Amino acid sequence: MRKLSVAIERWPIAGSFVISRGSRTEATVVVATIEEDGHVGRGECVPYARYGETVEGVAETIRTQGFAIAGGIDREGLLATLPGGAARNAIDCALWDLEAKLSGISVAERLGLASPHALETAYTLSLGTPESMEEAARAAAGRPLLKVKLGGEGDDARIAAVRRGAPKSRLIADANEGWPVEQFDRLMRACAAAGVELIEQPLPVGADDILRYVDRTVPICADESLHEAADCALLADRYDAVNIKLEKTGGLTGALGVVRAARAQNLAVMVGCMVGTSLAMAPAVLLAQDADYVDLDGPLLLARDREPGLDYRGSRVSPPSPALWG
């Protein structure tokens, strides 16, 4: 019989992580563990208040699935039982891991990935003053791809400062819904002038209809507007790309469907993350093998990572070892 357990863990962030909605100095994650016949599968999720989630609420939702897990519910059954979100993500990924341990067939093999390869991930610069962001960009200028957190008023100065600090790095801007509609054109032009190649979720969910009608000089990527596969068809006339995160799709199983739906709509694919440990990133590294953009730098933003963790060499991240996940 399978047994489900839940743990809440806190991991310190190196310094602080600041976006348009606030700042944090630690990452609080929830880990689901499923045991069967001496084998253990694990999945990690990061509850997100933006979607009405709390750490305690997510942990309790996972606990409510104890009887279903003991009864042998599979990943497809889980999709029909729980809505997308952090709780389902942790259980879904734990089931993938357990299946690999029980069968001896890795998740990569199940996904048809004969030889998964290392990926180049973006590295995130927190929101701050133009001066602090230029300094952070200068310190990270050796990284090929930087993701710049923006927040609205003053973003034109911020993105120009980052470009000065990292003149050779490719740039992605992420406003986390922080741009007022009336400032969109000006801030878009500032990003274009700085050579930004993608802008994530500049406008709030529900206020992004205007993206149908504006000149998208820089391609726009949906993040908060995208959760499940059906969203891709609804967003295709407003966005050029989608950011797929396991916390939003409710796990790797749901995320695979979102990738297929995005490709069917000719949307570019980014595989992103919340700030968590290597256990949360591991399934996403496999999902991202054919992604156009990879943003799986969560462990790089922590003061320490779990062991064993993913192997990061600069901005290159290798597929997970069996000791970690999958």
Enumerate the active-site residues: 149, 245
Query: Using CA atoms, how far apart are residues 305 and 285, in angstroms rounded to an integer?
Result: 16
Length of the chain: 326
Q: Which residue has the tokens 């034109």?
A: 156
Instruction: Give me the sheet containing 312-313, strands edge to edge.
Output: 119-120, 316-317, 312-313
HSE at residue 64, side-chain half, CA atoms within 13 A, is: 11
Q: Specify the amino acid at residue 26.
A: E
Q: How many CB atoms lie within 10 A of CB 200?
A: 27
Query: Using CA atoms, how far apart are residues 41 and 35, in angstroms rounded to an integer?
Result: 6
DSSP string, 134-147: HHHHHHTTTSSEEE
Query: Using CA atoms, how far apart are residues 30 and 5, in angstroms rounded to an integer?
Result: 11
* E strands present in 245-323: 268-271, 293-294, 312-313, 316-317
Q: Where are the alpha helices (DSSP H) in the chain?
A: 55-63, 66-70, 75-81, 86-103, 107-110, 130-139, 155-165, 184-193, 229-235, 246-249, 252-264, 278-287
Query: Using CA atoms, how far apart are residues 150 and 152, in angstroms rounded to an integer?
Result: 6
CA distances from 88 to 42, 58, 96, 115 (A): 12, 9, 12, 28
Provide the CA 105 distance to its chain's centre, in angstroms.
26
Q: How many CB atoms lie within 10 A of CB 304?
A: 11
